[in-house]
Amino acid sequence: MAELPASKFPAQLLSEVAALPALPGVYRYFDADGGVLYVGKAGDLKKRVSSYFQKTHDGTRIGHMVSRIVRMETTVVRSEAEALLLENNLIKTLHPKYNILFRDDKSYPYLKLSGTRASDGVVSALSASPAAYARMGYYRGGVDKRHRFFGPYPSAWAVKETIQLLQKVFRLRTCEDSVFGNRTRPCLLYQIKRCSGPCVGLIAPADYVQDVRHAEAFLEGHAQSLLQNLELRMQAHAAALEFEQAAEVRNQITALSKVLHQQSVETQTDQDADILAVRVQGGRACVNLAMVRGGRHLGDRPYFPSHVQEACELMRAEDELLAGDAAPAPDVNVAVQVLQAFIAQHYLDVPVPPSLITSVAVDPSLIEALSQQAGVKVSAQHQPREQRRLWLEMAQTNADIALTRLLAEEGSQQARTRALADALDLALADLDALRIECFDISHTAGESTQASCVVFAQHKMQSAQYRRYNIEGITGGDDYAAMRQVLERRYGKLAQAMRDAAALGSNGPGSVRLPDLVLIDGGRGQVGVAREVFEALGLDLSVIVGVEKGEGRKVGLEELVFADGRDKVYLGKDSAALMLVAQIRDEAHRFAITGMRAQRAKVRVGASKIEDIPGIGPKKRAALLQRFGGIRGVAAAGVDDIATVEGISRTLAEEIHRALH
């Protein structure tokens, strides 16, 4: 094996690489700031990791990544399957910069059946507690063994639709236990035949448990056998001359048959399955996940991974390094890599169904590792037939639509960024590097003043970089003083860091820099304050732009005010540049408002007390409470009513009303 170069990397790192064992495992690369660059797996750690440091990679993406490596961590495992699972677990946890990453937007909803299990047998006829009658409802969160959970479902709508279907067929209760325990007559759901009325004893406990058992069978995909059992029950009731009971079962059969017809389920061979379709275009990818539970298609949800290009280029470079001069490395199939990354990451937190239907073939070792992790046999099929083929075609169509929509939205946002850069003559070598920071001030009559700073970069809002500033030591309602304080706090340290970097001659890509644009929500007054702050700090005035409201404060009539003396600019109501400015300004306003309200609520926790209002003493407090019967009465009163109390002026009445609302 070639000698590891000793000039470019820390000696400690190279010694660790040389000491690696030839065993399966997972490796992590870190940069100088402690950020995770890359997480990878290997059947042979020594061979895989050493390949990164044996050759020069100048001018390539892998070379850029390798040049930033200063530290490495490795974990040895027993098999490549374990390495695969650990790799994706770490990717989800550490969010490395050069791996395909699927971010969780939210948890999945479930249908929950609580109360007595159908398998627990028949409860006593004297039992009237809510726990004796299972309740079905929508649920989102962690699952446990005390109740039964069906799902997960792709959306809240899918859960609620399923609940409505079960109400029509099996008439299970959906009311809370507190409502159930206090009913004296049946509710509207009973009247419209969506509930069997267990709260007032209109169904025997044994019959209700049987309905619960049937609902479970339906949710588990045994609808055809359930229909056969219901038909046998109907015939048995009819043979025993129990025609009313036979009619009830007949109605259940009719409702269930209608549901199955609406769902277009012609076969029940598929009980639980996930359909996974992947599309790659324009450097972006989409994985569309469609869920089939109990033979019913419940809907789908698109996922858009990040770092697709970076990760696939690294994979291709890795294959070339390992292949060496013996043979050319095969091209990396981006769609396959994206789908395999999704499968490995998604099913770490979500139960995996026994059947996966995929638009491309995936590595069998991945499915084997997934089966070991889940404890159930999982199969994958990428060329299905009949009903499964129709499901896959539908998922592929939805993936195409979702990816096309994403690319259109991103293209529109990039067009807005370009329009703004052109309108303001911003000299940018790379439009993707444009960074805008926007400030707004929010308070209520001077109370709980907060300033917000939102960031726009890489053609989108960067919520992780937003900041709020509590403004203190100023006169309430003085927006100019608040703006001065937030700008000094935001850019004071940055100005010093820029001076230090200039003194050291450090002007590289990692050095600190001023945003390309600093938007101020306000006109000449706020811009004048910003100009004074920047002049005192020695910063460039040309980046300061105020967003001044137009005539009548109408949207679309805003004008841009500059701190460096340029004339005001009106971009035009239909200008893409103005749309971007308005988007950023509105986001700053929203962020400031929510922070101010939260701060105000925190200050007033348990303290919307009248005596805390300036100008209210014991006598006026007693008079108010006596007139209106308590604090709630005062809060419900209008300003005119409060002003009629002896000793309360109109101004004080307005202050009381404002404080209590």
Closest of 160, 176, 171 to residue 195, by C-alpha: 171
What integer best gives the mean pLDDT of the chain?
A: 80
| Tokens (6 digits) for 531 | 């100009």
Average pLDDT of 492-514?
74
How many Cβ atoms are within 10 Å of 126's Cβ, its own excluded? 7
pLDDT of residue 323: 62
In this prediction, residue 265 carries a pLDDT of 42
pTM recorded for the entire structure: 0.62
Segment 59-88, tens digit of pLDDT: 566 777 888 888 889 999 888 778 888 888
Tens of pLDDT, residue by residue over 547-602, are 888 776 676 678 888 988 888 888 877 788 888 888 899 899 888 888 777 665 55
The two tokens of residue 354 are 């026994």
Q: Cα 162 vs. chain centroid, distance in angstroms?
A: 24
Which of 262, 292, 317 finishes a domain? 262
Residue 160 burial class via C-beta count within 10 angstroms: exposed 0-12, middle 13-18, buried 19 and up: middle
Strand, coil or helix: what is 634? helix
Query: Helices (H) and strands (E) in the chain — how many of each?
Result: 21, 18
| Cβ contact 367:340 at 8 Å | no
| Six token digits for residue 657 | 């009303």
pLDDT at 59: 57
Residue 648 lies in a domain: yes
Q: What is the pLDDT of residue 268?
A: 47
For 428, residues 6+ apart whose C-beta sits below 8 A from its C-beta are 421, 434, 516
Strands 355-358 and 379-381: parallel
**Residue 70: predicted pLDDT:** 86
CB 110 within 8 A of CB 147: no
- In this prediction, residue 250 has a pLDDT band, given cuts at 50, 70 and 90, of confident
CATH number, domain with residue 15: 3.40.1440.10
C-alpha to C-alpha distances, 281 to 316, 342, 357, 513, nearest whole angstrom? 18, 17, 22, 34
Angle subtended at Cα 657 by Cα 656 and Cα 661, rounded to the nearest 5 degrees: 115
Q: Which two tokens stand for residue 201?
A: 């004893």
CB atoms < 10 A from the CB of 538, how many?
10
Give yes or no for residue 174 having a pLDDT over 70: yes
Of 232, 262, 292, which residue sits at a domain end?
A: 262
Confidence of residue 454 (pLDDT cuts 50, 70, 90): very high
Residues 69 and 125 in one domain: no
Residue 336 has pLDDT above 70, yes or no: yes
In this structure, the answer to whether residues 25 and 164 fall within a common structural domain is no
Residue 421 within any structural domain of the chain: no
Mark whether 439 and 582 lie in a shared domain: yes
**361: domain CATH number?**
3.30.420
Structural domain that includes position 150: 109-262
Q: In this prediction, what percent of the chain has a pLDDT beyond 90?
A: 9
The verdict on residue 5 lying in a domain is no
My answer on whether 320 and 285 are in the same domain is yes
Minimum mean pLDDT among 37-41, 393-397, 596-600: which range? 596-600
List Cα–Cα distances, 585 to 431, 470, 519, 531, in angstroms.
20, 19, 8, 19
Q: Which tens digit of pLDDT belongs to each residue from 102-130?
A: 876 557 788 888 865 545 544 443 345 67
- Across the strands, what pairs with 109? 140
**Domain-embedded: residue 598:** yes
In a domain, 89, yes or no: yes
Residue at 412 is within a domain: no
pLDDT band per the 50, 70, 90 thresholds, residue 289 = very high
Q: Where are the alpha helices (DSSP H) in 458-522?
A: 479-504
Rounded average pLDDT over 414-426? 84
pLDDT for 162 equals 83
598 and 625 assigned to the same domain: no
Q: Are the CB atoms for 313 and 62 separated by under 8 Å? A: yes
Residue with tokens 């922070």: 595
Buried/exposed code over 71-98 (b: 16+ C-beta within 10 A; e: otherwise): ebebbebeebbbbbbbbbbbbbebebbb
Q: Is residue 413 part of a domain?
A: no
Helix (H) or strand (E) holding 221: none
In this structure, the number of other CB atoms found within 10 A of the CB of residue 67 comes to 13
Tens digits of per-residue pLDDT, 180-197?
888 888 888 988 888 988
Region 532-554: mean pLDDT is: 85
Name which residue leads in pLDDT, 574 or 204. Answer: 204
Can you give the pLDDT at residue 450? Answer: 85
Average pLDDT of the residues in 627-654: 80
Copy the structure tokens of residue 293.
């539970």
Q: CA 626 → CA 28, 439, 618, 658, distances in Å?
A: 70, 46, 12, 20
Which DSSP state fits 3? P
> Is the per-residue pLDDT at 179 higher than 60?
yes
Q: Which of 6-15, 135-144, 155-164 has the lowest mean pLDDT?
A: 6-15
Rg of the chain over Cα atoms, rounded to whole angstroms, equals 33
Residue 132: the pLDDT is 77
Residue 306 has phi, psi (to 5 degrees) of: -110, 165
pLDDT value at residue 609: 60
pLDDT at res. 127: 47
- In this prediction, residue 447 has a pLDDT band, given cuts at 50, 70 and 90, of low
The secondary structure element, H or E, covering residue 189 is helix 188-191
More confident residue, 284 or 437: 437
Examine the domain organization and report whether 575 and 629 are in the same domain: no
For residues 232 and 176, membership in a common domain is answered with yes
pLDDT at 104: 63
Instruction: Give the DSSP H/E element, type plus range, for residue 604.
Output: none
Region of residue 198 (phi > 0: left; psi between -120 and 50: alpha; otherwise: beta): alpha
Is residue 511 in some structural domain? yes
What distance in Å separates the CA atoms of residue 400 and residue 381, rounded to the nearest whole number?
Answer: 20
253 pLDDT more than 90: no
Q: Which residue has the higher pLDDT, 4 or 135?
A: 135
More confident residue, 605 or 204: 204
* Same domain as 78, residue 28: yes
Q: Is the pLDDT of residue 26 over 60?
A: yes
Which SS3 state, helix, strand or coil, does residue 310 take? helix
Q: Is the dihedral of CA 453, 459, 460, 463 positive or negative?
A: negative
Q: Domain check: are 501 and 478 in the same one? A: yes
- Average confidence (pLDDT) over 318-327: 60
Number of residues that this document lists for the chain: 661
Is the per-residue pLDDT at 453 higher than 90?
yes
Q: Decide: 287 and 276 in contact? Cβ < 8 Å.
A: yes
Beta partners for residue 135, in sequence order: 114, 173
| Torsion (CA) 180, 182, 184, 185 in degrees, nearest 10 | -40
The set of residues, in sequence order, having a beta carbon less than 8 Å from that of 36 and lying 6+ positions away, is: 28, 29, 30, 94, 95, 96, 97
Question: Does position 262 have pLDDT exceeding 50, yes or no?
Answer: no
Q: Work out how many domains the chain is built from and give that number.
A: 5
Residues 615 and 598 in one domain: no
Residues 651 and 532 in one domain: no
Residue 204, pLDDT above cutoff 70: yes
Three-class secondary structure of residue 607 per DSSP: coil
Same structural domain for residues 591 and 640? Answer: no
208-223 exposure pattern, b = at least 16 Cβ within 10 A, e = fewer: bbbbbbbbbbbbebbb
